[in-house]
Amino acid sequence: MTFACETPRPGAAALFALGLQEKLPTLRTTRLILRAPRVTDFEVYAEIACSERGKHLGGPLSREDAWADFAQMTSTWLLHGHGIWTIGHQGAIAGFVLLGFEPGDMEPELGFVLTAEAEGNGLATEAADAARTHAFETLGWNTLVSYIDPANIRSQATARRLGAVPEGMQGDARVWRYHRGGHMA
């Protein structure tokens, strides 16, 4: 079931939203564009979060809970000046990367999730590296963490490639720490 909140609205409000989106930083890499999230991106987010792929996001989530999660991560742009980016690759959405604080986070998080089709090509590493660089060079942060389910071998490998080191557990998640000046392995 699609909810009314998922449908773009025409008119002045849509133009206002577009103006806000244009103010958010766009990050470009060799293969990717990390851009502001749009309401139309939610369909891809829901496909990830509401499926078995969503197990590492606390799911699979209901569509309603996925909307709340997506909206919360998008709203942090207004509240904190950082948030979720949509990862664009070859004209499609490859997934999402986040700099933010989610409920329960004790410090800034670098999060990443891809579609099944985008996995296995180094896109998560490329997107997360761009976001991490933005956090350190533009936002002036000195450290970031990723909270990764110990069963999520792919995300642990991405964190390791980005130079993160495991630091113990927070709840059910292993904490992976990135330091300013850390290098990709």
Reported as a single tens digit per residue, the pLDDT across 21-41 is: 999 999 999 999 999 999 999
Two tokens, residue 148: 């990764």
Q: Say which residue the tokens 């069963």 belong to.
A: 151
d(CA 43, CA 72): 16
User: Band of the pLDDT at 56, cuts 50, 70, 90?
Assistant: confident
Q: Please give the torsion angle defined by the CA atoms of residues 60, 155, 165 and 24, in that order, rounded to the nearest 10 degrees.
A: -80
3-state DSSP percent of the chain in helix, strand and coil, to 5: 40, 25, 35
Domains of the chain: 26-179 (3.40.630.30)
Reported as a single tens digit per residue, the pLDDT across 140-181 is: 999 999 999 999 999 999 999 999 999 999 989 999 999 987
pLDDT > 90 fraction of the chain, expressed in percent and rounded:
82
pLDDT > 70 fraction of the chain, expressed in percent and rounded:
98
